[in-house]
Every structure is written in structure tokens, then in C-alpha cells.
Amino acid sequence: MSEGTELADALIREHQAIDIGIETYLDGLDAGGDEEPLRTAMHALRRHIYLEEVFLFPPLRAGGMMMPILVMEREHGELWRAMDALEKTLQSPSDPEALHDACRSLLSLLESHNSKEEPIVYPRADADLSDVQRDQLALFLESGTFPEGWVCAKGAA
């Protein structure tokens, strides 16, 4: 996994799958809204944030990317809190408009975040991580799970 942009590409594919899950939920919201695509996407986003904050960001920060990583962590906190709020809205789904707005807001946050992370941070995954670090990240991408109750660095309200 040590050549090309394999890690960057895999991380971008996760971003795309998360977006598609949220959009699929939105597309079906007027027809009763199967929550599974949204719940799957939010779980995938939490897992994705975990892999970045545990496997990707520490070595990049140590390599000199302090400011970009701080920005990414701050935005992860915003995303985390938006997902928490969306979870609460899902528990009382009497207002489809609120669900729609919360999903659109989450997608907007993701678009802003991903537009910075993909061109600035992800290329460094392939270029700056050691072979061992790349292998650990790749293994987690394939089959890793995050600990129950884990919250990202800036996720507390």
C-alpha cells in the first residue's frame, strides 16, 4: 500500500459513500424515509473520523501539519455534534422538514470539510506515513471498528 495515492483514494471513496447514504435517505424522506441509509452513513462517518484521528492525524501532525490537522479536528467536532443533533431529531420524526434541514446541513458541513481535507491532508497519507503506518491505516480501512462510546477530539458539546 506504499505507492501512488491508494490511501487517499480509499479515504475519498469513504467520503463519497457517506454522502450517498445521506442523499439516499433524503431522496426517500417524502416516501416515509427508511432510516437505514442515514444511520449507516452516520456510523460510517463516525468510524471514518476515528480512523483519521487515531491513525492518520498523529503522524501528520508530528510531521509538521499542525495547523491543517487542528482545522480538521475542529470540523470533526462540528460534524460530530451535527450527527448527535440529527440522532435526536430522528428519535422524534414528527417534523420531516427538520430532518431534511438537518441532513442538508450535515451534507453542507461535509462538503466544506472534504473540500479541504481531500487535497491538503490526504495526499500526505501516501507521501508522509511510514510503511507500518500506511499498513495499519489500510488494515483499519478494510475491517476496523471503533470503540463504542468513542468521541472525537473536539466532539464534546
Share of the chain above pLDDT 70, in %: 93
Let me know if residue 22 belongs to a domain: yes
pTM of the model: 0.93
Residue 71, C-beta contacts closer than 8 angstroms, at least 6 positions apart: 116
pLDDT band, very low/low/confident/very high, at 155 (cuts 50, 70, 90)? confident
Are 7 and 138 within 8 A, CB to CB?
Answer: yes
| 29-79 per-position pLDDT tens digit | 766 668 899 999 999 999 999 999 999 999 999 999 999 999 999 999 999
Residue 2 has pLDDT above 50, yes or no: no
Q: Which three cell numbers stand for residue 72?
A: 480538521
In 10 A of CB 45, how many CB atoms? 24
**How many domains does the structure of the chain reveal?**
1
Q: What is the 3-state secondary structure (H, E, C) of the chain?
A: CCCCCHHHHHHHHHHHHHHHHHHHHHHHHCCCCCCHHHHHHHHHHHHHHHHHHHHHHHHHHHCCCHHHHHHHHHHHHHHHHHHHHHHHHHHCCCCHHHHHHHHHHHHHHHHHHHHHHHHHHHHHHHHHCCHHHHHHHHHHHHHCCCCCCCCCCCCCC
Domain CATH code at residue 40: 1.20.120.520
Asked if residue 120 belongs to a domain, the reply is: yes
Q: Give the residue among 15, 32, 9 at the shortest CA–CA distance from 106.
A: 15
Is residue 72 a part of any domain in this protein?
Answer: yes
- Classify residue 155: in a domain, yes or no: no
In a domain, 150, yes or no: no
First to last CA, the chain: 37
Q: What are 79's three cell numbers?
A: 460534524
pLDDT the model gives residue 1: 37
- pLDDT, position 4: 43
- Residue 8's CB: how many other CB atoms inside 10 A? 18
Q: Which domain covers residue 71, as residue numbers?
A: 6-142
115 inside domain: yes
